[in-house]
A and B are shown apart, each in its own frame.
Chain A
Amino acid sequence: MIQRMGQRFRLSHRDLGGFYLATAVLAFAVLVQATVLTRLRLAGNAADLMLVLVVCWSLIRGQTEGILWAFAGGLGLDLAAGLPLGTSSLALMVTCPLTVLGKNSVFPGSLTLPVLLVLLATPAYGWVVLLTKTVLGLPVDWLASTLYVIGPEAVLNMALTFLVYPLLRWLARTLQPGQMAW
C-alpha cells in the first residue's frame, strides 16, 4: 500500500522544478501580503494575495497542485499572521475544489471565470477561518465579519485577480507548456 502511494507521488525532475518555483512564489506572496498589501486597504481590509494565487493556480494547473500550494502557503501565512498553524491552510484547501467549475468552460484563458471563482472562494475561505476560530473557543461575530471583512475583501481579491491570473498563466505556459489544465 505504502509502495503504491509512493509510486503515485514519486517526483520527477520537472516536479522538483515546480517545487522550487512554488516555494519561491509562495514565500514571495507571504512577504508581499504581510508587508506591502496591508498598506493598500479598502474599508480596513487588505486583498488576500495567497487566496487569489491558490484559486488561479488550481484553475491553471489543476486541483492537486492547488491543494499543495494552499497547504504550504497557508502555513507561511499563519506564521506571519500569528494565527494557529493550519488555520489558513485548511481554509485555502477548501477553496480548491471550487475550480471544478472551470473544467468545462468554453472560454479558456478568459478572466471572467477566475474572477468569479475568487468571488466564490473569498467567503468560503473566510467562513472556514471563522469556523476554526469558533471551534477554538474564540469570540466570532459572523454577521459583522461577513459584512465588513469578507465583503470588502472579495472586491479587492477580484481586482487583484486581473493582475495575478495573467501573470500565473504566463508563468505556467513558460515553464511547463504541456501541463495547462485550463
Chain B
Amino acid sequence: MRGMRAIPRQGSRSALASLTMRHVSSRTLLFFGLAAICVVLLILSSSNRLEPIEGVAMQIGRPFLLTFSGIGRQITNVVNTARDLATLRARNNQLQAVVDTLTIDNLRLKETEAENERLRSLLRFAQLNPNYDFRGGQVIARVISKNPSNYLASITIDLGSEHGLSMGMPVVTERGLVGRIHKVGPMSSTVLLITDPSSGVPALIQRNRLVGVVTGRAGAAPVMEYIPQDAEVTVGDLVITSGLGGEFPKNLVIGQVVEVRQRDYEIFQQAVVRPTVNFDRLEFVLVITNFRPLPGPPDESESVG
C-alpha cells in the first residue's frame, strides 16, 4: 500500500504493472541467485572442500543437539510410559493407580538401569574382542541425532577428530555392525548406517562362507547381493563381514537371512537380511579406532547416502 501511494495518478495502471513486474523479477532473481549458490555449495561440499566450515558448524551445533537429544529421550520415555499405562489399564484396573505412581517414581531409575545395562553389554563385547581398540569418551560414543533426513540413513555421535576418530572407521554395538564414519567434525561425527542405499558391506554367510555384498535399500531391509545361483542360502543363516576390500574388519555380525530371492533368469540370487542392530533404539555405539580402512575409489569418500 505504501508503494501504491507513491504512484502518480496519470498512467497509474502502467505504473502498477511495472511495480508488479519489478516485484516478480526481484523474487525470480532471488530464487535463481540462491539456487546458483546451492549448486556451488553442492559441488564444493561433494568434493569435501567445505569440511572446515562444516566442522565449525557441527561444533557450534553439538551442545544444542545434545540438549535436544536429551529432551527427545524424555519424550520417548513419556510416550512409552503412556503406552505401558494404556495396556495395564486394560489388563488390570485395580493396579492402575499403583502402576501410575510407580512408573513416574521409577522413570529416572529405569532410565539409569537401562543405560547401565547397555554399557555393560558394550563392555562385554569389548572384552570378548580385545584385538580392537574401542573409543568413545574413552570407550563409547553417544548418539545425539538419528536420521534427520529421510533420504540419508545416518546418525550423529558426540565424538570427532579431537577424540581420534577419522573417516571410514567402523562403528558397532554389542549386537553387530552399525556402519562407518562418514563425516568427521572436531567434536562430532556422522555415521552412515548399513541400511542406507549407498552403503555396501562385503559380507559372507557364516555357515558355508559364501561371499556377497550387503547393500541398504530405501524403506526396506538390506539385501545381500552377488550370491551365485547354485549356492545354498537358507532362512536363518547368519551374515557377517568378510573383511574383503579392507573397509570393515572381519567377522562382525551384520544380521540374519529372512528371505531368499532366487530367479532363474538372473545371474545371482539375493538374500534379504534383517540387521541384528535395532537402529531405532541406538543410544550408544562403539567406534573401532585401530582399524584403518584401505582407501576406496575416489567417489567412495564422497559418498553421502
Question: Is B42 within 8 A of A149, CB to CB?
Answer: no
Residue in B closest to A45 when the chains form the complex, CB atoms: B150
Q: Is B303's beta carbon under 8 Å from chain A? A: yes
Shortest distance from the beta carbon of B143 to any chain A beta carbon, whole Å: 10
Indicate the size class of the contact surface on chain A: 35 or more
Within 8 A of B (CB), among A71-105: 71, 74-75, 77-90, 93, 96-97
Partner of A39, one of B35, B39, B46, B76: B76
A31 and B35 form a contact (CB under 8 A): no
Cα of A126 to Cα of B150 in the assembled complex, Å: 9
* B193 nearest CB across to chain A (Å): 11
CA distance A129 to B38 in the complex (A): 12
Contacts of A46 in B (CB 8 A): 147, 150
In the complex, residue of chain A having the shortest beta-carbon distance to the beta carbon of B154: A82
Chain B residues packing against A (C-beta within 8 Å):
22, 26-27, 29-31, 34-35, 37-42, 44-46, 50, 54, 57-58, 61, 64-65, 68-69, 71-72, 75-76, 79, 144-152, 154, 156, 182-183, 190, 192, 197-198, 215, 217-220, 280, 299, 302-305
Shortest distance between the CB of B275 and any CB in chain A (Å): 13
Q: Is the interface of A mostly helix, strand, loop or mixed?
A: helix
Establish whether residues A44 and B35, one from each chain, have CB atoms under 8 Å apart when the complex forms. Answer: no
Interface of B is mostly: helix
Given A35-B72, A79-B58, A136-B302, the answer on whether A84 and B46 have CB atoms closer than 8 Å is yes
Nearest CB in chain B to that of A132: its residue? B42
Contact status A43-B39, CB under 8 Å: no
Smallest Cβ-Cβ distance to A79: which chain B residue: B57
Q: Is the CB of B45 within 8 A of A86?
A: yes
Residues of A within 8 A of B183 (CB): 82
* Contact yes or no, A82 B152, CB < 8 A: yes
Are A45 and B46 in contact, with the CB atoms below 8 A?
no
Q: Which residues of B contact A129 (CB under 8 A)?
A: 149, 151
Nearest residue, chain A, Cβ from B145: A34
Q: Is A8 part of the binding interface, using a Cβ–Cβ cutoff of 8 Å?
A: yes
Chain A residue at minimal CB-CB distance from B149: A81
Please give the distance in Å from B149's CB to the nearest CB on chain A.
Answer: 4
Min CB distance, B39 to chain A, in Å? Answer: 7
A2 CB–B CB distance under 8 Å: no
Q: Cβ of A138 and Cβ of B71 under 8 Å apart?
A: no
CA–CA, A98 and B107, complex, Å: 46
A136 touching B46, Cβ below 8 Å: yes
Contact of A82 among B22, B69, B72, B190 (CB under 8 A): B190
| A56 interface residue per 8 A CB criterion | no
Bound form: Cα–Cα A36–B156 in Å: 14
Asked, given contacts A82-B156, A85-B44, A130-B151, whether A63 binds B38 with beta carbons under 8 Å apart, the answer is no
- Asked if B280 and A8 sit within 8 Å, CB to CB, the answer is no
Q: Assess whether A34 is in contact with B65, with CB atoms less than 8 Å apart.
A: yes
A83 touches B152 (CB 8 A): yes
A-B contact pairs, 10 of them (CB 8 A): A35-B65, A38-B146, A48-B150, A67-B34, A77-B148, A86-B38, A97-B31, A133-B304, A138-B303, A148-B218
| A111 at the binding interface (Cβ < 8 Å) | no
- Assuming A86-B42, A86-B45, A153-B150, is B72 touching A67 (CB within 8 A)? no
> Which listed residue, B27, B151, B299, touches A83 by the CB 8 Å rule?
B151
A85 touches B45 (CB 8 A): yes
Any chain B CB within 8 A of the CB of A176? no
Given A89-B38, A144-B219, are A82 and B305 neighbors across the interface (CB < 8 Å)? Answer: yes
Within 8 Å by CB of A84, from B34, B42, B219, lies: B42
Whether A139 is near chain B, meaning CB under 8 Å from some CB there, is yes
